[in-house]
Amino acid sequence: MKSKNFNERCYSLLIKVPKGKVTTYKFLAEALGTKAYRAVGNAMNKNPYGAWGRAGGSPLKSELVSCHRVVCSDGKVGGFAAGTPAKIKLLKSEGIEVLNGEINLKEYLFKFN
């Protein structure tokens, strides 16, 4: 059986982050056993399974891989392939409060086991 590439591993883990919660590039990388935070960001940018993706639903599960739920370690929203305003809109639609482009991680952070 062929092992999943790095991006697919990121997407498989990210689908565990529930609606209304976020994780960080750092926590996602560490959960994958790496410090390649920028590689996680690149994977999110290339996400073909997202709400704004090119391929629609994820073959990993019947749901979308919600890369908008990945933010910076300092709580800043960070980048998004469809633009930061679109990311903020998606986060707010899930009940996540975004003030001045930042999220209160004490309230909304999801940590992997």
pLDDT for the residue 53? 52
pLDDT for the residue 48? 84
Per the model's pLDDT, the better-predicted residue between 4 and 92 turns out to be 92
**Residue 109 to residues 8, 27, 36, 45, 56: CA-CA distances in angstroms?**
22, 10, 20, 21, 26
- Percentage of residues in the chain having pLDDT higher than 90: 70
Q: Which residues are catalytic?
A: 67
Q: State the DSSP code for 111.
A: -
pLDDT tens by residue, 60-104: 444 578 999 999 999 999 998 888 998 999 999 999 999 999 999
Domains in the chain: ranges and CATH: 6-106 (1.10.10.10)
- Average pLDDT on 20-32 reads 97
- pTM (two decimals): 0.86
CA–CA separation, 97 and 31 (whole Å): 25
CA–CA separation, 41 and 34 (whole Å): 13
